[in-house]
Chain A
């Protein structure tokens, strides 16, 4: 096991080693590519200086709220189109597919025109991007419920709402979760990119701001942090999926996923579920308060003045 882990992470190790050595030995200009240890030091500095935490909170809040909106719209709509009115779903299918191809970045200007430059525009982009995987996976999942389960429930005289809630939704849940997970991954990607195009806080803004001020180690620090954060988020969601839906007999996921992340003995019980729900609510509430403060502060900071959260405003002077 240890040998396998060593082999597995050796590629990353070599890369980090090269990154450390190349600037130190002068193979690359250290001004443009700071050594890995300097970047790590910058990340720690950002964390301790309280900037990074706020940017993380802002980005995570946007992602969570946008994704929740997508789920609130996508799951019921998918249930309706996939299950209740399958003919309507059939008729709308191609149209929805074309709409799902609409580029989130070309929508950004439209949303900005609609809602102003504030949070709603960003949440709309996030919601739009994550809506489609959730919707399509829900439609497919509710359509492909095992007919035996459905028929036996029907033969016991189940009512339609109960059939939906107690048979179809649980049976479809694993696949719906895949949709939500894909939505979350894409969302984080797009969110960070759209924060670079116009925002006053968030992880994408951190990198963009650093670039505008020629704080080169900070660009690398922000980018590295985003990459690691996204990777861990992805891993966590895969783990969660494995733990939540371990009861599934036919694993729809190919074996590669389970081979890489062997399903642990851990199963979320009721306590974990409540903790998770509480954490989500806490993120939404406290994140929302923090986002409001950040936006208010960003609006009140005069150009060139120093702000607690952002170090230096985009058009300000040196640090």
Chain B
């Protein structure tokens, strides 16, 4: 049955809208989760006033940021100053489009759980992440403020350095799969549950560690949050931003966290596949069958977000030279060694 292109476009637009709304809600509640968890780690309650258990806090925060005065400092370079947060947020939101959330399920030839299924999904994510650097670099440069500029310089140097380790760490996974399509990467891990996940069965735990470290640096999160280190740089690249423009950077950071968590889940933790594999027989109707993988996927991503916040709550910040040394002298050689070991292992197994 040939579906007309208009229905396809309509369904795709609908899909994009739904995913964007879900992602933005998730971003808002990740912020709340972070505040709550960090609060508990520091032996206090965290937000608890707005709504039951402070559940309405994101709404109040959003309202506050939206209603604040949008300041435009006098000596900024205006076009780039306005463009920079847009680039940051757009890149953070676009990369979710190639991520599959659950098993393939077609309604009128439209895949329900993925916006776009591309052969080079992994590369698309890497590419969009690398474009995201401009948001930070331009915001710092156009603000005409030394703290912003220093923060932006640090950020771009840090992002370029850790992108290498990030890119090399996923090569092992790609070697094992032989494909850059994210669905293929998950499918190969779905056979024996937990045991065939790349992090265990694929012997990619070193790559997983490198990916995790590089991902923390890529998203400017503690302990790699040098670009916005408040004790040295006020607020780094977004010092001069207020109101919605600040909120855009804020949302971009958390959306990036979620994307990185999704990618880590897909690459190393078997994506939407159940950790029990075929041990538990399939049960429930078709709806449960379709939603159970999504549940596994979301819980794995949640685990990553928890890890992120836990690390932030416990580890102190790196010094800048330590950060560069760690990236270039430790992670990069380790990633290369991992690629060599993986390819030798695969060649040995194939022989």
- Asked if A and B bind, the verdict is no
Interface residues of B (CB under 8 A from A): none
Interface residues of A (CB under 8 A from B): none
